[in-house]
């Protein structure tokens, strides 16, 4: 029988989810999952934050909770608390009424709504993303209506650090009103963030060339364990009077991956068009998913607004970020001890969940085929997949693989 669906082309797999599935299906005993960015305990298990469990129980027992629709722009208590967490409790832009937040479907949903707003309402048509970047930025912005996708230099393969001059040159060449996607902290995938001095230089060019910054804030608190430190760049731009949008995700720092809790923060230079902007956002959301879900946002709002629960949560983010740091030190130490060729300082210098190891595609494939260690083609590993039980195994596998490929290169007479 003929179907109308004949001729549909097969889309490419989403690497991170495809790998996750291959990992789950792999029966090997010593398999290691360093793919998708999700926190794991030292026992290799997902972690429901105790403060989240506590609030879930409170909510379940609260007869005043119901399943009525939220407003189109979400729960005010949540978006206000989330905006204040990002910009700081004493933020002048909040005090002056120049900032507001709206609830979104995690960071990705926030990016999608922001992209549509920027392309349809402000008529911006060009966006820039870092090379490399989280692979979804391009797709989300293109689907959000942007016509021109452009790259800016970020990574220096040789020094395994930021190529700031390259980045600034690319930004200087960008047309006015180009939207520049910046990772506010814990750059995904490199784990390499600009220093405060470098952020100042980036802000200078953005201001001078009249570009529009869009911060993707997916790791506040999770990167360094300190909410203020991880918000440095966003707050610098706010202080300098630069208008911007910042998307926020609560997937990693609250461990609420599948609850899709996010916020979009708008920082304006004055309040003149604020009501109009909100009205357009209302129409965008209404036409896309009508209104957001309650559960996760209610949890985050409850924690951020209660001083005791807030302290408890800050303890949790310190626990997560310090375990990651320990794994960095553990891997670095073992690679050095094994005499693994190459430099490995970057493993301990990078920040956040990910490390850009420098392993190439062939090495990555070899590690998967022979050691059942899974990571992205780019050599990005999720540090949280490492623990005391698999560190030796992973370090040995890296060492053997790198030496094997080095020998093959030396043997090559071509
Ligand atoms: C990742 O980068 O692994 C996570 O942010 C998950 C995702 O959606 O890609």
- Could you report the per-residue pLDDT of 318-339, keeping only the tens digit for each? 999 999 999 999 999 999 999 9
Mutate to test the pocket of ligand 1, among 140, 188, 377 (most ligand atoms within 8 A of CB): 188
Point out the ligand 1 atom lying closest to the alpha carbon of residue 188.
2
Pick the CATH number of 15-47+321-411 from 3.40.50.300, 2.40.50.430, 3.90.1150.10, 3.40.50.1100: 3.90.1150.10
Outline where DSSP puts E strands in 73-142.
99-105, 126-131
C-alpha torsion 269→109→106→80, nearest 10: 30
> CATH 3.90.1150.10 in the chain, residues?
15-47+321-411
Nearest CA to ligand 1 atom 2: 37
Q: Tell me, what DSSP letter sits at residue 365?
A: H
- Could you report the per-residue pLDDT of 111-139, keeping only the tens digit for each? 999 999 999 999 999 999 999 999 999 99
pTM for this prediction: 0.96
Question: Mean pLDDT throughout 146-160?
Answer: 95
Mean pLDDT, the chain, integer: 96
Q: Which residues contact 106 (CB under 8 A, 6 or more apart)?
A: 249, 250, 251, 259, 260, 261, 262
Give residue 125 CA to ligand 1 midpoint distance, Å.
Answer: 26
Run of H or E residues at 392: helix 391-411
**Ligand 1 site: residues with CB under 6 angstroms?**
16, 36-37, 134, 188
Mutate to test the pocket of ligand 1, among 18, 21, 35, 36 (most ligand atoms within 8 A of CB): 36
Give residue 93 CA to ligand 1 midpoint distance, Å.
Answer: 31
Predicted confidence at residue 413, as pLDDT, reads: 45
Q: CA 378 to CA 375: how far, in whole Å?
A: 8
> CATH 3.40.640.10 in the chain, residues?
69-305
Q: How confident is the model at residue 2 (pLDDT cuts 50, 70, 90)?
A: confident
Point out the ligand 1 atom lying closest to the alpha carbon of residue 136.
9
Give residue 190 CA to ligand 1 midpoint distance, Å.
Answer: 13
Predicted confidence at residue 266, as pLDDT, reads: 98
Structure tokens at 374: 């899974």
Nearest CA to ligand 1 atom 1: 37
CATH class for the region spanning 69-305: alpha beta
- Could you report the per-residue pLDDT of 281-315, keeping only the tens digit for each? 999 999 999 999 999 999 999 999 999 999 999 99
- 311 contacts 375 by C-beta, under 8 angstroms: no
Mutate to test the pocket of ligand 1, among 134, 136, 216, 353 (most ligand atoms within 8 A of CB): 134
Whether residue 189 has a cis bond before it, omega within 30° of 0: yes
Give residue 370 CA to ligand 1 midpoint distance, Å.
Answer: 25
> What SS3 class is residue 249?
strand
Residues forming the active site: 134, 216, 252
């Amino acid at each position: 029988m003929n179907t109308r669906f004949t001729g549909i082309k097969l889309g490419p797999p989403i690497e991170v989810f495809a790998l996750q599935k291959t990992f789950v299906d792999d029966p090997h005993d010593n398999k290691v999952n360093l793919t998708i960015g999700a926190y794991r305990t030292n026992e290799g298990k997902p972690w429901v934050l105790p403060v989240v469990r506590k609030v879930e129980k409170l909510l379940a027992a609260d007869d005043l909770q119901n399943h009525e629709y939220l407003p189109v722009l979400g729960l005010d208590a949540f978006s206000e608390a989330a905006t204040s967490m990002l910009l700081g409790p004493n933020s002048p832009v909040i005090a002056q009424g120049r900032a507001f937040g709206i609830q979104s479907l995690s960071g990705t949903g926030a990016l999608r709504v922001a992209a549509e707003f920027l392309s349809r309402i402000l008529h911006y048509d060009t966006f820039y993303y870092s090379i490399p970047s989280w692979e979804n930025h391009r797709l989300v912005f293109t689907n959000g209506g942007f016509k021109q996708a452009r790259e800016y230099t970020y990574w220096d393969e040789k020094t395994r650090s930021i190529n700031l001059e390259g980045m600034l040159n690319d930004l200087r060449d960008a047309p006015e009103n180009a939207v520049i996607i910046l990772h506010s902290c814990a750059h995904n995938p490199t784990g390499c963030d600009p220093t405060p001095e470098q952020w100042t230089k980036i802000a200078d060019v953005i201001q001078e060339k009249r570009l529009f910054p869009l911060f993707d804030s997916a790791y506040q608190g999770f990167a360094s364990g300190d909410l203020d430190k991880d918000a440095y760049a966003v707050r610098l731009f706010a202080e300098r009077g630069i208008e911007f949008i910042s998307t926020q995700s609560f997937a990693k720092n609250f461990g609420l991956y599948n609850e899709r809790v996010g916020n979009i923060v708008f920082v304006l230079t004055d309040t003149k068009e604020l009501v109009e902007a909100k009205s357009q956002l209302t129409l965008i959301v209404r036409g896309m998913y009508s209104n957001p879900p309650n559960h996760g946002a209610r949890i985050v709002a409850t924690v951020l607004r209660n001083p005791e629960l807030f302290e408890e949560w800050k303890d949790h983010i310190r626990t997560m970020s310090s375990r990651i740091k320990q794994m960095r030190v553990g891997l670095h130490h073992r690679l050095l001890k094994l005499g693994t060729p190459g430099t490995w300082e970057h493993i301990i210098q990078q920040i956040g969940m990910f490390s850009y190891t420098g392993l190439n595609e062939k090495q990555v494939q070899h590690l998967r085929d022979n050691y059942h260690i899974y990571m992205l083609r780019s050599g990005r590993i999720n540090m949280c997949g490492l623990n005391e039980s698999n560190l030796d195994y992973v370090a040995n596998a890296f060492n053997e693989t790198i030496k094997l490929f080095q020998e093959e290169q030396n043997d090559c007479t071509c």
